[in-house]
Amino acid sequence: MNVFITGASGGLGRALANECGKRGYNLFLTDINEQGLKSIQLGIERQFNVTVTTASCNLTSDESVDQLLRKLDDNNIRFDMLLNVAGLDFEGGFLERERKDISRIVSLNNEATLRITHAILSRRREGNPFYLLFTSSLASMYPMPLKATYAASKRFLLDIAIALREELKDKQVNVLALCPGGLATTREAMRGIAAQGFWGGATTNPLEIVSTQTIRRLEKRGGVYVPGALNRALTFFGKLVPRRWIAAAVYQRWSKAQQHWNPVAFSAGTPKT
Amino acid sequence: MKTAVITGASSGIGFAALAELSKKGYHVIGIGHDQVRCEQAKQSAIAAFPEARVTFLCGDLMQQREIERIACEISTILETGNENRLEVLINNAGCVRSWYTTTEEGYEQQFALNHLAGFLLTYNLLPQLERANGRVIMTGSESHKNMRIRWNDVMLSRGYNPLTAYKQSKLANILFAKGMNDRYLSEGIQAYVVDPSLVCTDIGCKNTGGLVDWVWSIRKKHGVQPEIPAKTYAYLCEINPAPRELYYHLCKPNRFSAQVTSENADRLFTLSEQLCGIRYPNHADEIMR
């Protein structure tokens, strides 16, 4: 099976790449971080006897994506699975962030995801099932003040996944929307989780379980996967409560968390704890 | 002047060992990953002992390309300042993680830093160690007991337990030392593991959370200060002839797990070579490459 993974040098991308490597799938990995791609390529090749190809690509650029697609087409490569993992998040108040950072969230999380999904779906192996993953988030379930743009961008991906699942089921395409809570992938993520106290840890999902279950569910039937019983309960009860009440509760929780850890200052290299 | 390299030297046991060896007249090359803490550690060491010769190199030993870069920098220092010889290498850098987290290569972080980093760094400095009949010391732990290496899932990706990951990495430390002695004792390189016992450091509070952080913040209060185990490192560096046991606590040999066999050591060596993309040389001629 040929698997295409975006954001492959990030924490979730690496975990999913490991999971696919364990299953003997050949991997096409892309990310904007070329050094990170080289490192994960070495790691996968040394652990598993599979073929790993990497190509650095800026998914927000039509030109960069077209260049990547030309290389694939020159070699007549066809795919069986696409794992859309590339995405970014800037926490903090809407006006505390620069305009270009806010735009980048939508540009990468949404526009770039559609760009690469359309391209790889058009290059799927004929006559075989195809497996399509969108990495959404638990944040997609509610409006989230202080993570407003990120949460909305993930809601976009959730809805696209559900819609495409219906639209493409006759074409043997399984679509899964992955909606994890916190994932301890980077030092910044771990600091953010710790800053939220008990609820941060309680809504954090173990990466190794998420990656295994994601591939398993994607291959079985697709749908929406919310890891963790607590997160599933929050999702269910969240549907019964008016959205503006949820927005108020989330704002209160994140305000408190960001008193202990300022994500804007952390990104600027001047962390306040 | 003898030279010692110590990883994880900006705080805790590593810093205490740095101070101890500085007092004994070593040029100590400390490795840390935080630039500010490295600088503070260097200033503290010189303030405590003005004649100390301390160099700090900064890098993230979880990433293998960083290990190779740092090894090059160390080699340059040794070539110009110590006739290309290294008397002591202390693989002390270590971590604890509450969750399964991976390095750039996709390796579980406790296994990568606590074991593979030392494995790869030692490989890169082997010629210098061989020239000096050097000593390689790993920071171990009593928690290596009642543990086996999970050969089928060494990255613990089928269900992660932070304590299991730590115990496995500490067992790997002593297996690595055994493997080194099986291969290179005849070439004059001696490897040891120090059991520092429970030490009051911040290892369980860095990049952890929840239960691990809470448990460690209580446990560490019962630990000894890092200066106590530091004396065992200094003892193993200085005593002549070189002691022959493998595992030391408070300057005395101590019993270790029955899992420490040549068969397990060889198996871990082969696996670690595969994960680092290297091959340790077979004998002296190959070492002096």
Per-residue pLDDT at A265 exceeds 60: no
- Report ipTM (2 d.p.): 0.88
Give pLDDT, residue A188: 73
**Interchain CB distance below 8 Å, A40 and B156:** no
Question: What is the rounded average pLDDT of the residues B180-187?
Answer: 94
Interface of B with A in 224-283 (CB under 8 A): 274-277
Closest CA to B5 of B73, B80, B107, B51: B73
Give pLDDT, residue A237: 86
Residue that is written with structure tokens 């690496």 in the block? A14
Q: Which residues of B touch A193 (CB under 8 A)?
A: 209
Interface with chain B: mutation pick from A16, A19, A37, A39, highest number of B CBs within 10 Å: A39
**Interchain CB distance below 8 Å, A43 and B107:** yes
Residues B14 and B202: their CA atoms lie apart, in Å, by 12
What is the least distance, in Å, from the CA of A127 to any CA of chain B? 33
* Strand boundaries in A127-252, DSSP class E: 130-135, 173-178, 223-225
The model's confidence at residue B200, banded by pLDDT at 50, 70 and 90, is low
**Interchain CB distance below 8 Å, B104 and A206:** no
Ranges A96-100, B24-28, B116-120: which has the least confidence: A96-100
Give pLDDT, residue A90: 75
Closest CA to A39 of A82, A85, A8, A2: A8
Q: Is A258 on the interface with B (CB under 8 A)?
A: no
Q: Is B100 on the interface with A (CB under 8 A)?
A: yes
Residues B28 and B51: their CA atoms lie apart, in Å, by 12
Give pLDDT, residue A272: 37
Average pLDDT, chain A: 89
**Interchain CB distance below 8 Å, A18 and B98:** no
Per-residue pLDDT at B219 exceeds 70: no
**Cβ contacts of A90-95, under 8 Å, gap ≥ 24:** A90/A149, A90/A150, A90/A263, A90/A267, A91/A146, A91/A147, A91/A150, A91/A192, A91/A254, A91/A258, A91/A263, A91/A264, A92/A146, A92/A258, A92/A262, A92/A263, A92/A264, A93/A146, A93/A264, A94/A148, A94/A149
Per-residue pLDDT at A75 exceeds 50: yes
**Interchain CB distance below 8 Å, A208 and B103:** no
Q: Is A37 on the interface with B (CB under 8 A)?
A: no
Give pLDDT, residue A262: 59
The model's confidence at residue B258, banded by pLDDT at 50, 70 and 90, is very high
DSSP code of B4? E
* pTM of the shown model: 0.90
pLDDT: which is higher, A258 or A69: A69
Q: Is B63 on the interface with A (CB under 8 A)?
A: yes
Q: Is A87 within 8 Å of A189 (Cβ atoms)? A: no
Per-residue pLDDT at A120 exceeds 80: yes
Residue of A42, A187, A206 lying closest to B277 (CB–CB): A42
Q: Is B103 on the interface with A (CB under 8 A)?
A: yes
pLDDT: which is higher, B206 or A167: A167
Give pLDDT, residue A273: 35
Nearest CA in chain A to B276: A46
**Interchain CB distance below 8 Å, A212 and B99:** no
**Interchain CB distance below 8 Å, B160 and A185:** no
What positions of B carry a catalytic annotation? Answer: 166
Nearest CA in chain A to B160: A208
Residues B139 and B96: their CA atoms lie apart, in Å, by 14
The model's confidence at residue A271, banded by pLDDT at 50, 70 and 90, is very low
Q: Which residues of B touch A17 (CB under 8 A)?
A: 106
Give pLDDT, residue A270: 43
Give pLDDT, residue B223: 67
Q: Is B102 on the interface with A (CB under 8 A)?
A: yes
Q: Which residues of B touch A15 (CB under 8 A)?
A: 100, 102, 106, 157
**Residue B44 burial by Cβ neighbours in a 10 Å radius (0-12, 13-18, 19+):** middle
Average pLDDT, chain B: 90
**Interchain CB distance below 8 Å, B101 and A207:** yes
Question: What is the rounded average pLDDT of the residues A31-52?
Answer: 95
Q: Is B106 on the interface with A (CB under 8 A)?
A: yes
What is the least distance, in Å, from the CA of A196 to any CA of chain B? 10
Ranges A232-236, B95-99, B100-104, B199-203, most confident: B100-104
The model's confidence at residue A84, banded by pLDDT at 50, 70 and 90, is very high
Q: Which residues of B touch A49 (CB under 8 A)?
A: none
Q: Which residues of B touch A47 (CB under 8 A)?
A: 106, 275
Q: How many CB pairs under 8 A join A and B?
A: 87
